[in-house]
Amino acid sequence: MIWSKRNILFPLKLTDSLLQGILRAGAVISALVMLLISLFLVVESWPVLGQISPVRFFTDTSWHPLEGAYQLMPILAGTLYASVGALLLAIPLGIASALFIVYYASPRLAKWYKRLVELLVGIPSVVFGFWGLTTLVPLINQLHPPGASLLAAILVLTLMILPTITLTAYSALMAVPAEFLRNAIALGISRWGMIQGVALPAAKNGITAGIILAAARALGETMAVLMVAGNVVQYPETFFDPVRTLAANIALETAYAMGDHRAVLFVSGLLLMLLVMVLSGIAGLLEKQRHA
């Protein structure tokens, strides 16, 4: 009996130890990759960072690297305006879509609607950009020239991050314990009252995680925004003004950049990584609050 028990327990312990080792190795490799990327960005940026004050990236008169002007603030502003605008549209639409799938649609309709959203996730960003360039930009141009603008970037980014928010909110809502919902129904609470008072608070952390993931994608999106935003380095006064984002700036100029110009583009990459790290820090704080 003892021998047989050992034969049952030993494989389980071996499997657990092996799995734990694989997971630890994966975590270490991921951390090393992130560290190497950060070091690479710092090393490539150092020719500029070691010569000029970082304050100049926010106080120079314009963005003309070949003339020694390194103003990044209009590009950073374009990045934030496009990303925040897309989030303001995508968050309510995504959560509403998830609520519709889980609580309002018939099983057949919910199945096909969810498949449609999953299909949108797999569409390459360049396809969204091409659609925006050939369809959305001409429509905006009829309303207010030039068409390629902050508004076009916001709408294209909204379409791109909407499926992410919808699917993560769907998963979070499906993970709400059924007992919570049954208790709410037993108390005679209406459907919307149950959603507002029980389901959404219980799924809050999962929905927030999806929003942060979508925000990171919006900040780093390159090709689609490059194709529809107009790529003019300026502070937009209206939604119809062209803008340039950090990711698009790197993609546009890296092919011919040399010397300090090239180094400043890596500074743009560092700034993007800093924004993503801020989002990651927010996610960590929310996780601590969840377990507090």
Q: Are residues 17 and 155 in the same domain?
A: no
Residue type, 212: I
Q: What's the pLDDT band for 292 if we cut at 50, 70, 90?
A: low
Q: Are residues 106 and 28 in the same domain?
A: no
Q: Are residues 44 and 117 in the same domain?
A: no
Tell me the C-alpha distance between 243 and 238, whole Å. Answer: 10
Pairing of strands 69-70, 63-64: antiparallel
Q: Are residues 201 and 287 in the same domain?
A: yes
Tell me the C-alpha distance between 241 and 204, whole Å. Answer: 36
**What's the structural domain count of the chain?**
2
SS3 of residue 105 by DSSP = coil
Cα 187 from chain centroid? 39
pLDDT > 90? residue 191: no
pLDDT > 50? residue 131: yes
* Residue ending a domain, choose from 33, 51, 69: 51
> How many CB atoms lie under 10 A from the CB of residue 148?
25
Tell me the C-alpha distance between 8 and 190, whole Å. Answer: 51
Q: Are residues 207 and 108 in the same domain?
A: yes
Q: Are residues 156 and 283 in the same domain?
A: yes
Q: What angle do CA 120, 280, 154 make, to 5 degrees?
A: 40
pLDDT > 60? residue 145: yes
CATH of the domain at 197: 1.10.3720.10
pLDDT > 70? residue 4: no
* pLDDT at position 3: 41
Whole-Å CA distances, 113 to 93, 99, 132, 200: 14, 12, 23, 21
Domain region containing 36:
2-51
Task: Quick: pLDDT tens for 247-270.
Answer: 999 999 988 888 889 999 999 999
Q: Are residues 282 and 161 in the same domain?
A: yes
* pLDDT at position 51: 86
Tell me the C-alpha distance between 246 and 147, whole Å. Answer: 20
Q: Are residues 9 and 128 in the same domain?
A: no
Q: Are residues 160 and 224 in the same domain?
A: yes
Q: Are residues 83 and 117 in the same domain?
A: yes
Q: Are residues 43 and 167 in the same domain?
A: no
